[in-house]
Structure 1
Amino acid sequence: MKLSSIILKIAEKMDGQRSLNASLHVLRGKRSGQTLQDVDYFSVKPYFSILPKLGDSTFAEAVSSLHHAGMISESEGIVTVSEKGKRKAKELPPFQFDGWHYRGREEIFFLRMVLLVQTLSQLRNSQNSFHPITNDRKIQQFVKEVLRSLQDTRPNSARFFADELLLALKMTGISDLQAAVLCHRLTGVSASGWTWEQLEESTGETVASLQLEYLEALHRLITVSESTDAEERLPILHMLVKDIRIKTPLTDSTAITKKLFDQGLPIDEIAIVRQLKVNTIEDHITEIATNDRNFPILRFVGRDDQLAVQHEVRRNDVKRLRFLKEKFPHLSYFQLRLILSTTKGELV
């Protein structure tokens, strides 16, 4: 799995409407009003925040490979996917990330699983004292609670969990490579988890590619483990995925703004109360609108303006704010973002 393939998938969704930086912001999980609107409007939620530490040079290198392969081109900062690129995007297998709902929390799940495997392995060999794979006290406490729940089956817990993990891996449908990466990252009594460099040497795949395979595999494992029948079929993994899925897509800061907004406070007053810039509060409001089908947009934009913008978007298939601003100069960029955020379903 290559980063360039994921960028191509996102660029194809935004074809002719956004710059490549928009794809970078999606992958990094930028919380700006523009990016949050793009994520929803272009249906790229699966890729949101899957690579929060993606470096500029790494991204540029992947983009360069797409340019050289004739997959994409840029004009006035806007990326267009060529016919060759569109064919390639369709040929790519469907990626099964769920960045919107996990946002890096898959690593918490993995650390819980690694520590549980390590602990059960040590206990099975009568080793009650060992150095835990993670020093995170919350992870340690969580695993202790899981072990307490397994008290009645403690002698056989290691075997039970091994069988359960094998079943779960089959249920996910992940590739042999992905299963191997996950398993080799685990730590037991006589075997430490492999480093990325060791996996690279063993598989012949690059570290960057392996990390993407690992990430998708984790997302698929979590999805299976939180399914409706997992509590019975995968009881231990079902415990490990507790609170991994984001319950609310709003950031903590936006949630505070929402409480004030729901009380009827206007944006400028919310900014004063929160001691934040008006632009920041507008980003919060856009984030709220993106995630609330009943958002009261009439507090900001009249119905006639909403219909006019919708008609323009539908008629010319244009979603670039600059073009819409030229067509509707009396509307602010904030108002235009709100219209796009709250009318996606009506335009599809």
Structure 2
Amino acid sequence: MNFLTVIILYCISCFKGERSTNAVYYLLQGKKSAQTVQDAVWFSLKHVFSIYPELKKELFQEHINFLVKHKLVEINEKTCQITTAGEEKLSNYIEKQPIPKSLDGWNFQHIDKKFWQRLSLIVQIVSNWANGEGKFMPVQRDYYTQRWVKRWLFDWNTTYDKQTLTKKLYFEIEHLLSYAESKKENPELFVARLSGYENPGLTISQIAQQYKIDEYYYLIIFRNFLHFMIKSISDFRSDYPLLYSIIKNEQQEIVFTDSTRKTLNLLSMNKSIIEIARIRNLKVSTIEDHIVEIALMDEKFSIDQFVTPSMQDKIRSAINTLNTRKLKRIKEAVPDADYFAIRLVLSKWTEQK
């Protein structure tokens, strides 16, 4: 049982028997559908959203078959449920190999790969510069990454000479890695993949073997460290001007459908739901769907104008008591709440991982 199996079991456990195995697959792969985005938020699984973007359906199904065969999960026509044996197995594994605390697929899945490609190539180049070497095989073959790095080096070379740029970059990286250590992150497993002058980085397989962890767990640890770096660089950008310049133009824009964006524009003009429906010649339920989408995607969007704080408390209490995300069951517990209110509260749902 490897860590991919553990993560799949973890998601099934968090879904509480209310979603199918496909929902788990789409979540880990990072499918940009309304349902998958909703699942990530409603079930507090944003941290594992898109953490295995290249996961193939055939491999995923093999892991599901393993879980079924060993009676760790049960599958019916529409949903998948973790068994008591599965919960015990999951608890034991997570205790030994916990999900890293800085993992944040929701916020950083769009940038972590780019950041790694750019940084690893920059480190390789300046390391060779420092040793007077100009010819070497680049660790990143992607044309767009190479073009971006060339431009980055050109821009900074107008401010610093090669020697100064190398020293400043080294200082920033060393400072960040020291900060990571103070936060009990493990920079060693990140540094092992970096290539420098006559020092090729280790492969994923080599690192997993050397540190006696399975490859899927290493992938999670590595992605976690990238997320930690990106957040730290963004939070303390004045301390890391060179590193921040690698990501500063990659801040994720909230992407709404065209129809939802039109509704958002009218909301910003203080139009009511009924007014927006009339202006746009759409059903009230459609406008409500748009507002739920906005609440899901924009953490700063307040739902207080649609659901009173006291009603939000009632709905949250029902969710906690029933331990469910099923709208019908929540509605039965809070009959004076409509489905729109329940969906909005779920869309702002947060709890400890």
TM-score (structure 2 length as normaliser): 0.71
Q: Residue 102 in 1 paired to residue 108 in 2?
A: yes
Q: 1:155 matched to which residue of 2?
A: 163
Q: Distance in 1 between matches of 2:117 and 2:188?
A: 16
Q: Return the letter of the residue paired with 1:222.
A: I
Change (3 A) 1:339 1:43: closer
Q: Residue 179 in 1 paired to residue 179 in 2?
A: no
Change (3 A) 1:297 1:183: same
Q: 1:57 matched to which residue of 2?
A: 58
Q: 1:140 aligns with which of 147, 150, 173?
A: 150
Q: Deviations over 1:237-296 (max 9, x none)?
A: 3433424453x4x22546744336545574697699xxxxx9998765422022354247
Q: 2:98 matched to which residue of 1?
A: 93
How far off its partner does 1:318 sit?
3.0
SS of 2:81 mapped into structure 1? strand
Aligned residues: 331
SS of 1:73 mapped into structure 2? strand
Change (3 A) 1:78 1:71: closer
Q: Return the letter of the residue paired with 1:93.
A: P
Q: Distance in 2 between matches of 1:111 and 1:236?
A: 15
2:123 and 2:196 in contact (8 A); partners too: yes
Q: Return the letter of the residue paired with 2:98.
A: P
Q: Deviations over 1:97-139 (max 9, x none)?
A: 1111112301111122122212212332444576753421334
Q: 1:113 aligns with which of 104, 113, 119?
A: 119
How far off its partner does 1:297 sit?
6.6
Q: 2:82 aligns with which of 80, 105, 112?
A: 80
Q: Deviations over 1:275-328 (max 9, x none)?
A: xxx999876542202235424774xx9999989976764653432246568999
Root-mean-square deviation (CA, aligned residues, Å) is 4.4
Q: 1:38 matched to which residue of 2?
A: 39
Q: Residue 227 in 1 paired to residue 231 in 2?
A: no
Change (3 A) 1:302 1:60: same
Q: Distance in 2 between matches of 1:322 and 1:60?
A: 30
Q: 1:124 matched to which residue of 2?
A: 130
Q: 2:294 matched to which residue of 1?
A: 288
Change (3 A) 1:59 1:124: same
Change (3 A) 1:240 1:41: same
Q: Distance in 2 between matches of 1:67 and 1:90?
A: 20
Q: 2:176 matched to which residue of 1?
A: 168
Q: 2:220 matched to which residue of 1?
A: 212
Q: Distance in 2 between matches of 1:86 and 1:62?
A: 14
Q: 2:28 matched to which residue of 1?
A: 27
1:28 and 1:51 in contact (8 A); partners too: yes
Q: Distance in 1 between matches of 2:126 and 2:5?
A: 39
Change (3 A) 1:192 1:256: farther
Q: Return the letter of the residue paired with 1:46.
A: H
Q: Residue 251 in 1 paired to residue 239 in 2?
A: no
Q: Distance in 1 between matches of 2:318 and 2:209?
A: 54
TM-score (structure 1 length as normaliser): 0.72
SS of 2:235 mapped into structure 1? coil
Change (3 A) 1:84 1:129: closer
Q: Return the letter of the residue paired with 1:121.
A: S
> Which blocks of at least 5 consecutive residues in structure 1 are unaligned?
273-277
How far off its partner does 1:195 sit?
4.2
Change (3 A) 1:147 1:223: farther
Change (3 A) 1:127 1:310: closer
2:74 and 2:81 in contact (8 A); partners too: yes
Q: 1:275 matched to which residue of 2?
A: none
Q: Distance in 2 between matches of 1:65 and 1:269?
A: 53
